[in-house]
């Protein structure tokens, strides 16, 4: 990331904190500078790098190398665009920049630096605090009613965020239309059937979402910015820790070197909460333990309990663990272990050191 800014011998220049730039200033107000748009670029952006120079009217030539683009121009400002979208078959984690300006008298000015693309804290992250509730249809109307009861228990007791959406679930909320649905809010809670890294957003398997084909958060998808931090599932086994098709459960959630060009949920996501076993609802005439669980979860969040503990303590207090059922789990980056519902932090992607530290908190 280019942050150094030296302008001691050119008092007519002013410091601009909004631009990410590096300048080297010597006598006679000769300098070169590179600024980027967006000012804090991340993997997936189309980045416009603009080269400027002092005494530009006396420039003979400017040589630049920005990423793998290289060339010379006779005049500045000059803009170079770099597409960092991994769908192009590359996974750029940084952009090196080198510029050399040569003046008519053979005097030169140079700069070199690197823009890091592996973290992000975008304006969208901080503009609102919202959540969405998605409830899957079911052939069994009683089961639908139980899901609605859990959703209502949470909504009636949670006030830290404003509710943005309350809809019957659809697969597109997590995939093709995620920027308008699941990835448009800070927390998305889904009720329905599930299995290993899978959520069934409807009555049939055709409504299923394999979560290893999704991407949520500040670093995904290409060309745009998602908002989601906390992804919550009230569904059986979605966070199963069992090996599946020969792969560890981590494989289906986080990127590694072999999957960095694919989609995975943690592309800026902070944590996923759910069940690693079956979720069994013990219900009575006017109440059930899972409604109590979601009420306690909401109260814990509003009370300032960390998100991981808010989920796990609510499960321990309200759910029956008989017969190996109702074992909740939370997978997350270690950086977010102490997150409260109001926490604002950078988001990270594969290749950032903070992304490598992946954890799970679960009931035995």
Half-sphere exposure of 274 (CA within 13 A, CB side): 32
Half-sphere exposure of 280 (CA within 13 A, CB side): 10
Sheet holding 328-333: strands in order across?
Answer: 162-168, 130-135, 187-191, 230-234, 271-275, 328-333, 358-362
Domain 21-117 fold is Immunoglobulin-like (2.60.40)
What's the CATH class of domain 123-362? Answer: alpha beta
Distance from C-alpha of 172 to C-alpha of 156, rounded to nearest angstrom: 27
**Tens place of pLDDT for every residue, the chain, 364 residues?**
332 222 222 333 222 322 333 444 444 699 999 999 998 899 989 999 999 999 999 999 999 999 999 999 999 999 999 999 998 999 999 999 999 999 999 999 999 999 999 998 665 666 789 999 999 999 999 999 999 999 999 999 999 999 999 999 999 999 999 999 999 999 999 999 999 999 999 999 899 999 999 999 888 778 777 899 999 999 999 999 999 999 999 999 999 999 999 999 999 999 999 999 999 998 877 789 999 999 999 999 999 999 999 999 999 999 999 889 999 999 999 999 999 999 888 899 999 999 999 999 999 9
| pTM, to two decimals | 0.88
Query: Residue ranges of the domains in the chain?
Result: 21-117, 123-362
Beta strand pairing status for 162-168 and 130-135?
A: parallel
Cβ pair 31, 53 in contact under 8 A: yes
């Amino acid at each position: 990331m280019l942050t150094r800014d030296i302008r001691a011998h050119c008092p007519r220049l002013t410091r601009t904190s909004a631009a990410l730039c590096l300048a080297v200033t010597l006598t006679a107000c000769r300098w070169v500078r590179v600024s980027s748009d967006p000012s804090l670029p991340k993997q997936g952006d189309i980045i416009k790098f603009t080269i400027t120079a002092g005494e530009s009217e006396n420039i003979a030539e400017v040589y630049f190398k920005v990423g793998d683009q290289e060339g010379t121009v006779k005049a500045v400002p000059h803009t170079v665009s770099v597409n960092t979208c991994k769908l192009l078959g590359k996974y750029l984690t940084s952009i090196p920049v080198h510029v050399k300006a040569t003046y008519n008298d053979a005097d030169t000015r140079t700069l070199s630096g690197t823009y890091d693309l592996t973290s992000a804290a975008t304006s969208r992250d901080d503009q609102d605090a919202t959540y969405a509730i998605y409830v899957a249809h079911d052939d069994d109307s009683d089961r639908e009613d139980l899901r609605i009861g859990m959703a209502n228990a949470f909504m009636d007791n949670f006030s830290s965020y404003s509710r943005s959406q309350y809809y019957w679930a659809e697969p597109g909320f997590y995939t093709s239309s995620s920027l308008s649905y699941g990835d448009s809010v800070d927390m998305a809670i889904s009720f329905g059937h599930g299995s290993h890294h899978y959520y069934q957003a409807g009555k049939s398997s055709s409504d299923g979402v394999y979560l290893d084909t999704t991407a949520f958060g500040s670093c995904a998808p290409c060309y745009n910015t998602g908002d989601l931090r906390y992804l919550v599932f009230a569904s059986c086994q979605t966070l199963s820790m069992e090996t599946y098709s020969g792969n560890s459960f981590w494989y289906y959630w986080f990127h590694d070197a072999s999957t960095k060009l694919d989609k995975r949920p943690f592309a800026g996501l902070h944590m996923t909460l759910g069940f690693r076993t079956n979720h069994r609802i013990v219900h009575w005439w006017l109440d059930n333990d899972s409604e109590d669980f979601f009420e306690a979860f909401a109260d814990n969040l509003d009370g300032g309990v960390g998100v991981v503990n808010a989920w796990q303590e609510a499960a321990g207090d309200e759910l029956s663990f008989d017969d190996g059922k109702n074992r909740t789990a939370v997978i997350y980056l270690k950086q977010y272990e102490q997150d409260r519902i109001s926490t604002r932090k950078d988001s990270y992607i594969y290749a950032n050191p903070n992304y490598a530290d992946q954890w799970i908190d679960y009931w035995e």
